[in-house]
């Protein structure tokens, strides 16, 4: 990828927060931003998260701060406080990291967080999601631009291979750290990473995984366009806490589109409520069966009450559990 255009994604944001751990990927991001021709038109700060999981992490984070200041950036050292979980540690550390970064971005007035995810990360993400039976959206991989709570989340380096980013650091003569957890077999991603050479011999190399992601992204975009049109046809009324649909317009939708219409309303009405794909699929299937059979349906999903009657399908906040009917407690 061309270094000169790599950061074009950042141009619309006057104030940016770079997430820099000290590894070669994020140090390369910091170096690219330091020499970015647009730098003078933007306020760029650096943040490093100390998860408190390794003894050396604090000193490394402080060193990243020194590197950032030497390049003319302000630096914010963020700490994951409190007791650490004994299970799903990487998943929870990731959630804590993004929460801390979002909080820092809001505090300094940055409208975007910038991470150093690259093409090899993308390939590993696709492989990881394949092992978990992800849907089309998941297999599309990480988007170059998404959201982290109230701010944008930008990944401008998805076109770079890791070797290229290491090369940027070495060309600049800049030091970086290697995270030992990347080789720790206690973590699923580390085990998958070690399988990559074997899979490559069978044809499933990084480029094949990236092609899969690109094709899945195109299919996902087409499905989203169809789901948006289906929602527009079916929607009868909506406000900040309610949506009502024409059941006849939903009845003959392919299951994937019905599922996406539901997912879009859940994201709109309950953006903080996590929802597993299997539960969403089950709810869409039950709604489809109820619509085609002309049967009523009442269930809760992501804190919302989904009701299907003869003349409407509605989504609204679920009542308190102790006041809910037995049917409503039958979670999807």
Question: Is residue 175, in this structure, part of any structural domain at all?
Answer: yes
Question: Is residue 219, in this structure, part of any structural domain at all?
Answer: no
Please list the residues that pair with 238 across neighbouring strands.
243
Q: Is the pLDDT of residue 31 over 50?
A: yes
Rounded Cα distance, 64 and 176, in Å: 9
Q: Is the pLDDT of residue 321 over 90?
A: no
198 in the same domain as 251: no
Which percentage of the chain shows pLDDT scores above 90? Answer: 77
Answer with the residue of higher pLDDT: 18 or 178: 18
Please give the mean pLDDT across all residues of the chain.
91
Q: Is the pLDDT of residue 182 over 80?
A: no
Question: Is residue 256, in this structure, part of any structural domain at all?
Answer: yes
Q: If you compute the radius of gyration of the chain from its CA atoms, what whole number of angstroms results?
A: 23
Instruction: Please give the structure tokens belonging to residue 89.
Output: 């540690």
Backbone angles phi, psi at 313, to 5 degrees: -120, 125
Report pLDDT for 328. 47
* Helix extents (H) in 71-144: 89-108, 119-131, 136-139
Summarised one tens digit per residue, pLDDT across range 278-294 is 999 999 999 999 999 99
270 in the same domain as 171: no
Q: What's 297's domain CATH number?
A: 3.30.465
88 in the same domain as 26: yes
Three-state DSSP at 48 gives strand
Question: Is residue 222, in this structure, part of any structural domain at all?
Answer: no
- Quote the number of domains for the chain: 2
190 in the same domain as 250: no
202 in the same domain as 128: yes
Question: Is residue 158, in this structure, part of any structural domain at all?
Answer: yes
284 in the same domain as 136: no
Report pLDDT for 79. 95
Question: Is residue 235, in this structure, part of any structural domain at all?
Answer: no
Domain, as residue range, for 161? 6-210
Q: What's 102's domain CATH number?
A: 3.40.50.620
- Mean pLDDT for 313-318 is 96
Summarised one tens digit per residue, pLDDT across range 48-72 is 999 988 888 999 999 999 999 999 9
């Amino acid at each position: 990828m061309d270094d000169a255009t790599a950061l074009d994604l950042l141009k619309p944001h006057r104030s940016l927060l770079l997430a820099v751990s000290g590894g070669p990927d994020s140090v390369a991001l910091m170096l690219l931003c330091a020499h970015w021709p647009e730098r003078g038109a933007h306020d760029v700060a650096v943040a490093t998260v100390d998860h408190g999981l390794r003894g050396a992490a604090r000193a490394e984070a402080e060193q990243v701060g020194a590197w950032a200041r030497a390049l003319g950036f302000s630096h914010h050292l963020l700490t994951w406080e409190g007791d650490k979980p004994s299970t799903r540690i990487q998943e929870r550390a990731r959630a804590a990291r993004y929460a801390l970064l979002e909080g820092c971005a809001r505090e300094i007035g940055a409208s975007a967080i910038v991470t150093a995810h690259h093409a090899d990360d993308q390939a590993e993400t696709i492989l990881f999601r394949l092992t978990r039976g992800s849907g089309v959206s998941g297999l599309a991989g990480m988007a170059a631009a998404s959201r982290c709570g109230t701010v944008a989340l930008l990944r401008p380096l998805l076109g770079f291979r890791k070797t290229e980013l290491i090369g940027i650091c070495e060309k600049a003569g800049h030091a970086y750290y290697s995270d030992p957890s990347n080789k720790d077999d206690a973590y699923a991603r580390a085990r998958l990473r070690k399988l990559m050479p074997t899979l490559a011999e069978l044809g499933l190399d990084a480029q094949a995984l990236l092609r899969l992601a690109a094709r899945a992204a195109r299919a996902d975009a087409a499905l989203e366009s169809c789901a948006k049109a289906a929602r527009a046809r079916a929607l009868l009324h909506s406000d900040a806490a309610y949506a009502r649909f024409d059941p006849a317009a939903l009845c003959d939708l392919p299951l994937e589109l019905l599922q996406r219409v539901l997912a879009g309303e859940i994201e709109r009405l309950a953006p903080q409520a996590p929802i597993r794909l299997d539960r969403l699929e089950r709810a869409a299937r039950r709604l489809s069966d109820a619509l085609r059979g002309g049967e009523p349906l009442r269930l809760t999903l992501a804190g919302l009450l989904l009701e299907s009657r003869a003349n409407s399908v509605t989504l609204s906040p679920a009542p308190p559990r102790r006041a809910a009917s037995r049917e409503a407690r039958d979670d999807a």
